[in-house]
């Protein structure tokens, strides 16, 4: 075999081995730092948050959160969700025991068709309401501006 061909095959073999080694994924998923035990929480339990949210936003009701039993980190967290409508959900990660909020989000599943604009506006209204409930010092204008980017 010619020396140039040998070098070519060696390089290809090395690239294949390197690519294979980097393609392997770890068996365990990394937990976000803000979800770890001992990480700070909002100074608000989920029931307090829901009560505040509903009193401040009577036109945007937030139903009771229900625990989800799919968390790999059950020792530290309780995960819960609340269905707002067919394409809008609220979900949260709560500190086990105190049920204080570690993370909360609104998930919007976009829809197509004539109702798309109204559905997006409703999702943005809920997002803004969550932000205003958790950060009351932020102005409504700033919250609306931040939410309209999405």
Q: Write down the pLDDT at residue 147.
A: 79
User: For residue 80, what is the DSSP state?
Assistant: E
**The pLDDT of residue 1 is above 60:** no
Q: Write down the pLDDT at residue 70.
A: 66
Tabulate helix, strand, coil % of the chain (nearest 5). Answer: 40, 20, 40
Give the model confidence (pLDDT) of 37-78 as tens digits: 778 888 889 999 999 999 999 999 999 999 987 656 667 889
Q: What are the two backbone dihedrals, phi and then psi, of residue 88, each rounded to the nearest 5 degrees? A: -140, 125
Q: Write down the pLDDT at residue 149.
A: 73
pTM, to two decimals = 0.73
Q: Which of 141, 144, 127 has the alpha carbon at shortest distance from 60?
A: 127
């Amino acid at each position: 075999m010619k020396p140039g061909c040998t070098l070519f095959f060696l390089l290809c073999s090395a690239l294949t081995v390197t690519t294979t080694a980097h393609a392997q994924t770890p068996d365990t998923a990394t937990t976000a730092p803000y979800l770890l035990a001992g990480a700070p929480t909002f100074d608000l339990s989920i029931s307090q948050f829901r009560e505040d949210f509903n009193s401040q936003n009577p036109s945007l009701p937030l139903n009771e959160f229900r625990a989800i039993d799919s968390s790999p980190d059950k020792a530290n967290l309780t995960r819960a969700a609340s269905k707002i409508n067919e394409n809008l959900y609220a979900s949260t990660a709560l500190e086990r025991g105190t049920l204080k909020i570690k993370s909360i989000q609104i998930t919007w599943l976009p829809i197509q068709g004539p109702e798309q604009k109204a559905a997006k506006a409703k999702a943005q209204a809920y997002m803004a309401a969550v932000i205003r409930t958790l950060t009351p010092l932020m102005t409504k204008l700033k919250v609306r501006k931040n939410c309209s980017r999405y």
